[in-house]
Structure 1
Amino acid sequence: MAPNPQCAALAAAKEKKGWSYAQIATAIGKSEQHVIDICTGKVTPTAAEFDAIAKVLDITGPPPNDSAHATKRTQVVTDKSQQVLENQTAVEGAILNMTTHIPPTMTPQTRPNHTHVTITHVDHENHRVSWALDSMPSWLLRSVRWQSVTPVEGGKAKYESIEVFNGLLVIFIKWFIGTNLKKSFDGMADGLKARAEQSS
């Protein structure tokens, strides 16, 4: 017998509709095992997968703010059809699905930020990577982010992160989330520094 969903609301919606995991999987174009893993909390769904499951089960409300729905910051590499790639190493042309908190926090939030970007450059030799937000018309909003790591004297490394925004919505980005977005970039840099120093 298939395990019950970890989320009570999801279990209730699944029972109300009378659908099996196999039917949900067919409806969203995923494997049955992957759907089971999502529903039982073994894997974190991409934003597209989360929305697709909610849609087919007619779930319209936000998830409860409890321990079963504690949102982790995640990065999942998929192809353009949102199929999770077995190799999660960044590759040009793949889609990076990110679940983040703006401003940065480790406290679970009911509404995390979900972003899908296209990985545009992976330069292993020079330790650089870039991705672009291209889900909107470029005249409306487009952003390109570059990140690089370069060696410096004393056995240290310099991490740089640059994001360039273009389009009509740029002024709204600056006004409404500009300050918190910068805090998020700083938080990522601080976290990366702490992780690197812990591993060294």
Structure 2
Amino acid sequence: MTKTTQSTHDPSSRAQSLVLIWPGTLGHPSEWEMNEEHMFSLVTSFLETVGEHDGNIVVIESRWWQFQEGYMRYLIDQKLVECAAKGYAARKVLDIEDDDEVQEFDEVIEWRGFGGQRPDLIFREEEALWLSLQPILNKSDVLIAGGWRDVEYPQNSPIDNAVRKILAHCTDVNVSLSKAILEH
């Protein structure tokens, strides 16, 4: 099994970390009242961001993971393998944002983390999730990409929440947002 905690690269240099937030929310223009051309452009930008990344990678999936397009899941999983093979930290976790709602789905049983079925990578408490990612993200330049950012109500946005949580849990981090973010 591949170790998915700390990067094995030189600790004196700043790590590059890519955090993908809820990628399963991408690729469904009707869901977001978006024209297909704009969604295609967004998904293309997202896939380029993932494909070009060389460093630590964290994928935070949500209950939307099962709606993720197959090609996108394949590319993300391949990038996890590639980064881990190069000695970078690679982790895929499931964020259960509404525990009551999850009881209606089989998603927790079917979901597979990086390295197979990993119940330790399924988080019902947000604080535990972000504490688990602190060793990967601290002392790095973090680029966030993925699904959705509510520009009108940022307090409800998974992207803005990720920024707040990373800054709260990591003492030495730079966070930036990719152009590959679904905004509405």
Q: TM-score, normalised by structure 2?
A: 0.24
Greater Rg by CA: 1
Give the structure with the higher percent helix.
2
Q: Which has the higher contact order (CA 8 A, sep 6+)?
A: 2
Q: TM-score, normalised by structure 1?
A: 0.23
